Chain A
Amino acid sequence: MQTQLGSAVFPRLLRRSLSYIPSILYSLHWLLNLFHFFRFLSNSSPQSQKHKEMASPFLSNTIISFSSSLSSSSSLPRLAPSIPFSAIRSKSTPRRILTVRSKIREIFMPALSSTMTEGKIVSWVKSEGDVLSKGESVVVVESDKADMDVETFYDGILAAIVVGEGETALVGAAIGVLAETEDEIAEAKAKAASKSGASTPSAPPPAPTPAAASTPAPPKSTPAPAAPTVAEGPRKTVATPYAKKLAKQHKVDIESVVGTGPYGRITPEDIEAAAGLSPSKKNVGLAVVVETKPAAPAKAPAASAAPSSLPPPVPGSTVVPFTTMQSAVSKNMVESLSVPTFRVGYPVTTDALDALYEKVKPKGVTMTALLAKAAAMALAQHPVVNSSCKDGKSFTYNSNINIAVAVAINGGLITPVLQDADKLDLYLLSQKWKELVEKARAKQLQPQEYNSGTFTLSNLGMFGVDRFDAILPPGQGAIMAVGASKPTVVADADGFFSVKNKMLVNVTADHRIIYGADLAAFLQTFSKIVENAESLTL
């Protein structure tokens, strides 16, 4: 079962979450932050650098937990090849040595269904000290769907029961210890004692500890040591029944979610937004890391939410929890680090474009529409830049060219999508864009109007930004960051000087599918289109 969990469920969650598009939008939110920095800082790169540094601890956690869960499951196929609900696996072989030397094994809470996150022990069929033989029922576990007998895959002696009858444990948590011979019972018991002391998920009965324990955002809220005055007001969290269920299912720490429903309650939508792109494995990983040093298991949520590695807050600082959108952004930003990106910049002469813009402006055509159209025409010639890499193994070529354009609205960010931007003419495109922006302001965009983008355009030129670099939203192949067009002195091949308007565009792309030459060629085409802007009106 652990095998199934490792190989089947995680990738599916991963894929599902990758395709979880609304949250992708939020990933672009940092562009907005970035823009704020641009207004105050002259140089952008330290900021983006800072971003990466902040994010990297999460990434490393992720990787650690993932690899550990892989390694533990990799030992399983041999152990439990056919019986689906075997709960036994080797634990004391940390990961390299797969041949089991130690005779003490832990019995884990099995995953009895794909949706099961925790299980309740209905009854122990065997009691401590009983001799077990392979295939015998040891314990009856109740999942969200059924009561199942769990059988052992080893001969041995049930040395200790870690999770008692009627108690609940997370999937994968040790619920008992199995010794191979009588000599090892004492050792096994000691191990069990340390287990039940350390991992607390079963102890406090009613509190939904699993949800709380797997808090994905430890740095914020409830700084455990001694700063109750700093945190937000004492108002308790109100979440609807389905929101709680979703939070449990997606392992979202409900305390970290800011409710947007009536009376500030947390709605299912809030949880979905907060769950965003984070695959559940990451959260499990985090939970594991946090749980290694639980200060006082008495108050489970507080203990699990305690920051484990961050320095204590500076006295007098204020802790403001993320809003739902901000937590989604945070998660997506971390998520984006799993894609190997690179950037290519290109100066584009815009005299022709500017001239065209002056001409068509009275007809309601915006610069955004012009740029989107130009990008779409270039993409039509370079389909690889319009493709995406969903599974790390293949190109997904998109049949439509849908240009998502980042727009800042009221403290948020959204990316309305101009669908089939290569096929629509400039005027239709402008009209469409106007509608989308109005809808976005009224928060009436339909999902396909903001999540169907195949390529993103972000323009900060209107603020005077001359160049910047965008983070690639998960699920897309490339994003273009457009700076301001500025009069620039250029020398031509004959040594004649002239002043031309130039703007710098910078494309961030997924190097698994889009290589340097691809991007360069695409930019060259884009540049040519912009320089012969009349073609945009055709």
Chain B
Amino acid sequence: MHSTLSFSQATTVPTTNYAFHSQSPINLRFCGLRREAFGISILTRSSSGRVRLSTRGRSKRTSASTGNNGTPPKSFDYDLIIIGAGVGGHGAALHAVEKGLKTAIIEGDVVGGTCVNRGCVPSKALLAVSGRMRELQSEHHMKALGLQVSAAGYDRQGVADHANNLASKIRSNLTNSMKALGVDILTGFGTIVGPQKVKYGKVGFTDNVVTAKDIIIATGSVPFVPKGIEVDGKTVITSDHALKLEFVPDWIAIVGSGYIGLEFSDVYTALGSEVTFIEALDQLMPGFDPEISKLAQRVLINPRKIDYHTGVFATKITPARDGKPVIVELTDAKTKEHKDTLEVDAALIATGRAPFTYGLGLENINVVTQRGFVPVDERMRVIDANGNLVPHLYCIGDANGKMMLAHAASAQGISVVKQVTGRDHVLNHLSVPAACFTHPEISMVGLTEPQAREKAEKEGFEISVAKTSFKANTKALAENEGEGLAKLIYRPDNGEILGVHIFGLHAADLIHEASNAVALGTRIQDIRFAVHAHPTLSEVLDELFKSAKVLDMKTLRKMKS
């Protein structure tokens, strides 16, 4: 506790709304409890960090209201029902309990949702393996470190088990953390039957109807499979199947070069597969800052056993059968003409994810989905077909499509809980970091350079770009991993951080210094002289902030006063 306190003072957080100084027994007890939950739910990441800050000042009130059973005047079964126990629902539930709400979570499948069972978590296990394999196989790299390794091999089943074990471990942690806090876990498929009313039940059993003051939809998403692609789960697969790693094909086509595709290309090439990317847009890695994706392509694609077709759709994919390989038909994205046919051993469909909102009963409350997504406003309040807000109904996470990331869902859930407990809150999505766990990693927060330029032009301000290389970082060089770039897009007039993009060793961990700064509204001039331990990778960001040229401090101060 002491270290946390002193740290928060030293960093001079500009907007200190939180009272840190209470050291009452209640607070400590609560922290202890929270810490347990926090230790378990590693997944909620930065958003959980914010939760922790906000609890302290309020803990007394919270415990008091818990003592009152928290029953609102109108009689509801629960204060809050969350449909879907993924990372978003979990984050919301934990925060709701802290706020003293009587909370239930409905889950029709397994606790943890996509992230824990079929997404971020097991894929990290595979990537941990691929990172090591890649390192051990890189003779040059090993030699440069003076290491000798005879031959690196792997046991496919062992790798698959590692991923599976990790998923079940995190799943049980998540379940236990909710149970320990007193969240009711209702098993079954949840359907909204009317305002503030949800029914749930397993197939073949009678449905139960429960009422709640507020309802959060957090049903998440499933892999999106475009038309014409036949997924058989063996040779034509989605990330759901790929994470089980049932076989390692010699040659796999990956449709889509976003996060999912890139991470799997990292896994498969490290395990000896060759990869062909199929990307509908003209550039690989379309979601990233162009400069980062260009560099990433040089490091992650070009030297590896990967080739690619851009500007094409995979219009038809037939699984391997009758002694024939997987056949992929490519159609030009612009002319719509047949362009090429590939014969590969497997195809992974990584074209993104589609919201899982079917059967939610949205028609009962006059809500029409848009391409499957539940329409919401910036406070995650659901909007009905007439454009009016549906009272007491919220939707978070992949189901609303605002930002399809586990930790974004969790942050949205916390934001909703804040609102229903009487504090207005709008989540700043530009402060939500994103990471791709390739080797090396890619991470980002805020705007890309083209987005920032567009915004600057529209709003009439200047932007500047600062860059630093991992090549100049002692720790990176010690690890013999000097490949990498950090890029800062900012306003030179006031030092506002618009976007930070990192490609390099442990980029996913490094981004939080920047994302926290964005979330707290910290300006470059406020953090540029913050001390970083030497030698650490974090000095890449240190250098980055120092190299930014914000207009003279004195003139700024004069302007302010």
- A263 contact set on B, CB distance < 8 A: 324-325, 343
- Cβ B325 vs Cβ A241 within 8 A: no
B325 and A245 form a contact (CB under 8 A): no
Given contacts A145-B298, A241-B276, A242-B274, contact A262 B307 (CB under 8 A): no
Interface membership of B418, Cβ < 8 A: no
Distance between Cα atoms of A238 and B345 in the complex (Å): 12
CA gap between A268 and B304 in the complex, in Å? 13
Kindly supply a per-residue 1/0 record for chain A positions 137-166, scoring 1 wherever the CB is within 8 Å of any chain B CB and 0 otherwise.
000000011100000000000000000000
Which of B274, B275, B303: most chain A CB closer than 10 A?
B274
Closest Cβ neighbor of B324 among chain A residues: A263
* Cβ distance A335 to chain B, nearest Cβ, rounded Å: 28
* Complex CA–CA separation, A353 to B362 (angstroms): 96
Give the CA-CA distance A145 to B274 in the complex, in Å. Answer: 20
Query: Which residues from chain B contact A261 at a C-beta distance below 8 Å?
Result: 250
A-B contact pairs, 11 of them (CB 8 A): A144-B298, A144-B303, A240-B250, A240-B251, A240-B274, A242-B305, A261-B250, A262-B325, A262-B345, A263-B324, A265-B251
Please measure, in the bound complex, the distance between the C-alpha atom of A56 and the C-alpha atom of B302, giving whole angstroms.
38
B residues near A (Cβ < 8 Å) are 250-251, 274-276, 298, 302-303, 305-307, 324-325, 341-343, 345
Given known contacts A241-B274, A241-B276, is B298 in contact with A262 (CB within 8 Å)? no
On chain B, the residues within 8 Å of A238 by CB distance are: 342-343
Answer whether residue A89 sits at the interface, using C-beta atoms and an 8 A cutoff: no
Q: In the complex the two chains form, what is the Cα distance from A262 to B344 in whole Å?
A: 9
Residue contact A245 to B298, C-beta cutoff 8 Å = no
What is the predominant secondary structure among interface residues of chain B facing chain A? strand
Question: Which partner residue on chain B sits nearest A261 by CB separation?
Answer: B250
Q: What distance in Å separates the Cβ of B306 from its nearest Cβ neighbour in chain A? A: 6
Q: With A238-B342, A241-B306 given, can you name 12 additional A-B contacts, CB distance below 8 Å?
A: A144-B303, A145-B298, A240-B250, A240-B305, A241-B276, A241-B307, A242-B274, A245-B305, A262-B250, A263-B325, A265-B343, A268-B305
B298 nearest CB neighbor, chain A only:
A145
Q: Is A244 part of the binding interface, using a Cβ–Cβ cutoff of 8 Å?
A: yes
A144, B302: Cβ atoms closer than 8 Å: yes
CA separation between A408 and B345, bound complex, in Å?
Answer: 34
Complex interface bits, A263-302 against B, C-beta within 8 A gives 1, otherwise 0? 1010010000000000000000000000000000000000
| Bound-state Cα–Cα, A242 to B276, Å | 10
Closest CB in chain A relative to B356 CB, distance in Å: 34
Residues of B within 8 A of A262 (CB): 250, 325, 345
List residues of chain A with CB within 8 A of the CB of B276. Answer: 241
CB contacts under 8 Å to B, within A108-160, are: 144-146
Question: What CA separation (Å) do A236 and B340 show in the bound complex?
Answer: 10
**In the complex, are the beta carbons of A245 and B343 less than 8 A apart?**
no
Q: Which residues of A contact B (CB under 8 A)?
A: 144-146, 236, 238, 240-242, 244-245, 261-263, 265, 268
B305: chain A residues at CB < 8 Å are 240-242, 245, 268
Q: How far is the CA of A61 from the CA of B54 in the complex (A)?
A: 79
Complex interface: chain A residues within 8 A of B251 (CB):
240-241, 265
B298 touches A146 (CB 8 A): yes
Chain B residues whose C-beta falls within 8 Å of the C-beta of A145 in the assembled complex:
298
For A244, give the chain B residue with the smallest CB separation: B307
Which residues of A have CB within 8 Å of B341?
236
Residues of B within 8 A of A146 (CB): 298
Residues of B within 8 A of A268 (CB): 274, 305
User: What separation, in Å, do the CA atoms of A144 and B345 have in the docked complex?
Assistant: 27
Q: Is the CB of A241 within 8 A of B275?
A: yes
Q: How far is the CA of A242 from the CA of B341 in the complex (A)?
A: 18
Q: In chain B, what residue has the closest Cβ to A246?
A: B305
A404 to chain B, nearest CB (A): 26
By Cβ-Cβ distance, the 6 closest A-B pairs, closest first, are A241-B307, A242-B305, A241-B274, A240-B274, A242-B274, A263-B325
Query: A245 to nearest B CB, angstroms?
Result: 7
Q: How close is B119's CB to chain A, nearest CB, in angstroms?
A: 26
Residue of B whose beta carbon sits closest to that of A144: B302
Give A267's nearest chain B residue, CB to CB. B250
Chain B residues with Cβ under 8 A from A242's Cβ? 274, 305
What CA separation (Å) do A236 and B342 show in the bound complex?
A: 10
Q: Which of A144, A145, A240, A244 has the most CB of B within 10 A?
A: A240
Chain A residue with minimal CB distance to B310?
A206
Q: How far is the CA of A242 from the CA of B305 in the complex (A)?
A: 5
> In the complex, what distance in Å separates the CA atom of A396 from the CA atom of B508?
53
- Which residues of the partner chain A approach B303 to less than 8 Å between Cβ atoms? 144
Q: How far is the CA of A157 from the CA of B392 in the complex (A)?
A: 73
| Cα(A145)–Cα(B295), bound, Å | 9
Find out whether the CB atom of A245 lies under 8 angstroms from the CB atom of B250: no
A375 → B minimal CB distance (Å): 34
Bound-state CA distance A241–B341 (Å) is: 14
Q: How far is the CA of A261 from the CA of B274 in the complex (A)?
A: 13
Chain A residue at smallest Cβ distance from B311: A206
How far is it, in angstroms, between the C-alpha of A394 and the C-alpha of B251 when the chains are bound?
45
B331 to chain A, nearest CB (A): 15
Chain A residues whose C-beta falls within 8 Å of the C-beta of B324 in the assembled complex:
263
Closest chain B CB from A469 CB (angstroms): 42
Residues in B whose Cβ lies below 8 Å from that of A245:
305, 307
Complex interface: chain A residues within 8 A of B250 (CB) = 240, 261-262
When chains A and B are docked, how far (Å) is the Cα of A123 from the Cα of B440? 28
Q: Within the complex, what minimum Cβ distance (angstroms) separates B327 from chain A?
A: 10
Q: A145 to B250, alpha carbons, bound, how many Å?
A: 26
Which of A244, A245, A261 counts the most chain B CB atoms within 10 A? A245
**B217: shortest Cβ distance to chain A, in Å?**
42
CA distance A218 to B303 in the complex (A): 29
Instruction: Return chain B residues, CB-CB under 8 Å to A236.
Output: 341
Interface centre among A241, A261, A263 (most CB of B within 10 A): A241
A265 proximity list for chain B (CB < 8 A): 251, 343
Question: In angstroms, how far is the closest chain A Cβ from the Cβ of B140?
Answer: 13
Residues from chain B with a CB closer than 8 A to the CB of A244 are: 307
- Complex contacts, B306 vs chain A, CB 8 Å: 241
A235 to B321 CA separation, bound complex (whole angstroms): 20
Q: What is the chain A residue whose CB lies nearest that of B295? A: A146
Q: Tell me which of A146, A261, A263 has the highest count of chain B C-beta atoms within 10 A of its own C-beta.
A: A263
B247 to chain A, nearest CB (A): 14
Report chain A residues within 8 Å CB of B325: 262-263
Bound Cα distance A242, B306 (Å): 7
| Closest B residue, CB atoms, query A236 | B341
Q: Which residues of chain A are near B275, meaning CB under 8 Å?
A: 241
Residue of A with least CB distance to B275: A241
Question: Chain B residues near A240 (CB, 8 Å)?
Answer: 250-251, 274, 305
CA distance A340 to B383 in the complex (A): 86
Q: Please give the distance in Å from A243's CB to the nearest CB on chain B.
A: 8
CA of A275 to CA of B274, assembled, Å: 20
Residue picked from B303, B305, B306, most chain A C-beta under 10 Å: B305
Closest residue of B by beta carbon distance from A147: B294
Residues of A within 8 A of B302 (CB): 144
Q: How far is it, in angstroms, between the C-alpha of A238 and the C-alpha of B324 when the chains are bound?
A: 14
Give the shortest distance, in Å, between A144 (CB) and chain B (any CB). 6
Q: How far is the CA of A45 from the CA of B325 in the complex (A)?
A: 49
Q: How far is the CA of A238 from the CA of B325 in the complex (A)?
A: 12
A261 to B250 Cα, complex, angstroms: 10
The distance in angstroms between the C-alpha atoms of A268 and B305, with both chains bound, is: 10
> Smallest CB-CB separation from A146: which chain B residue?
B298
A206 to chain B, nearest CB (A): 9
A99 to chain B, nearest CB (A): 41
Task: For residue A112, give the distance in angstroms from its CB to the closest CB of chain B.
Answer: 12
B471: min CB distance to chain A, Å? 12
Instruction: Name the B residues within 8 Å of A144 (CB-CB).
Output: 298, 302-303
Complex Cα–Cα for A238 and B251 (A): 12
Give complex CA distance A240, B303 in Å: 15
User: CA separation between A238 and B343, bound complex, in Å?
Assistant: 7
Q: How far is the CB of B131 from the nearest CB of chain A, in Å?
A: 20
Q: Which residues of A contact B298 (CB under 8 A)?
A: 144-146
Complex CA–CA separation, A268 to B272 (angstroms): 12
Which A residues are in CB contact (< 8 Å) with B342? 238
Closest-CB distance, B557 to chain A (whole angstroms): 40
B159 to chain A, nearest CB (A): 22
Residues on A with beta carbons closer than 8 Å to the beta carbon of B274? 240-242, 268
